[in-house]
Amino acid sequence: MIKSYIEAARLRTLPLSVSGILVGSLYALANPTNDILTPTQVFNWKIFGLSILTTIGFQVLSNFANDYGDGVKGTDNDERVGPQRAIQSGAISPQAMKKAMYITALLTFISAVLLIYVSFHDKYLLYSLFFLILGIVAIASAIRYTVGDSAYGYKGFGDVFVFVFFGLVSTLGVNFLYSKQFDWQLVLPAAAIGMLSTGVLNLNNMRDEISDKNSGKNTLVVKMGGKNAKFYHYFLVGGAMLLVLVFAAIYNGIGFRWDQYAFLVAYFPLLSHLKTVYYCDDNRRLDPQLKKLAISTFLLSIILAMVLIF
């Protein structure tokens, strides 16, 4: 039974979910703030650890909710490509999965509260309130993606959720927890990570276009069609690569050193991925590319974070 829950948590999605946390955190480590004359190191290991834990909680909750929502609605059926989900295969009952969702939501909320307390203590009351509300919205959004009659994932809005929470909120939000400041320069890599994360979702929806359409799950891919979804995918991945390049040029300033652009190594698997998508004539064969894009995004985030420090 425990093995079934671990599989339902979809561990392969976790590295992707923490990509924004890594970039936002190590950006804070590389850029002491608060005083121009005497810069103060704002990075905090407690904030980093709790941020990772909270983000993983959100991702696992989202995966459980996705398994439950698609399972009880019959979206996960024999037409679907890829590994069978827990409810679809009968490994976990809908009632047990719902209970797992509630427990995960509670643990994630506790982790978020601890994160907010460690970041702000008894100061910055408005900031604490804002992040508390943001955490509640994130938990609700993770559940409502496929659960309920008004699930927004069935109306084509899942891309917005992924871009905002796993890109902008993840990267900019965690950096604010350290610095108590908003850094506009960080918007570029935050948007890039959001676009790549959205690309993973789009790839998933491209793979499941036929089964989703037949079961009434109107994802953005179903609405725009497979051909347009490919162009949208090129925009997401290619646009993200461009944003990171622009960020590097602004961050590094005048002059050029190869080590400052070491993250370009991650562009090779991304370009290979785009080539595969371009020549693929059956989107159902795109399943292996999900892991490739997710790992490439994590690799890009790791190298970019290291470049920021060293």
pTM for the whole thing?
0.92
Integer Cα distance of 156 and 222 in angstroms: 8
Q: What is the pLDDT of residue 83?
A: 72
**Helix (H/G/I), strand (E/B), else coil: 33:** strand
Rounded CA gap, 194 and 168, in Å? 6
Quick one: pLDDT at residue 39? 62
Q: What is the pLDDT of residue 71?
A: 80
- Six-digit token string for 88: 């679809």
Q: Which of the 8 DSSP states describes residue 85?
A: P
Cα dihedral 99, 104, 106, 107 sign: positive
Per-residue pLDDT of the chain (310 residues; tens, 9 = 90+): 788 888 888 888 899 999 999 999 999 998 876 555 556 788 999 999 999 999 999 999 999 998 888 888 877 666 666 677 788 888 889 899 999 999 999 999 999 999 999 999 888 899 999 999 999 999 999 999 888 778 888 888 899 999 999 999 999 999 999 999 888 999 999 999 999 999 999 999 998 888 888 888 899 999 998 899 999 999 999 999 999 999 998 887 655 567 788 999 999 999 999 999 999 988 888 888 999 999 999 999 999 999 888 7
Give the CB-side neighbour count of residue 243, counting CA atoms within 13 A. 21
Adjacent-strand bridge partners of 33? 40
Q: What phi, psi does 124 have (nearest 5°)? A: 50, 55
Q: Residue holding tokens 């960080």?
A: 186
Residue 258 has what pLDDT?
Answer: 72
Question: In this predicted structure, what is the pLDDT of residue 30?
Answer: 87
310 SS3 class: coil
pLDDT confidence of residue 78: 65
pLDDT at residue 254, rounded to an integer: 58
- Beta-carbon neighbour count of residue 4 at 10 Å? 16
Q: Tell me what pLDDT residue 18 has.
A: 95
Residue 82: predicted pLDDT: 66
- 127's enclosing H/E stretch is helix 125-144
- The pLDDT of residue 202: 95
**What are 257-277's pLDDT values in tens digits?**
677 889 999 999 999 999 999
Can you tell me whether residue 34 is helix, strand or coil? coil
Q: How far apart are CA 134 and CA 173, in angstroms?
A: 10
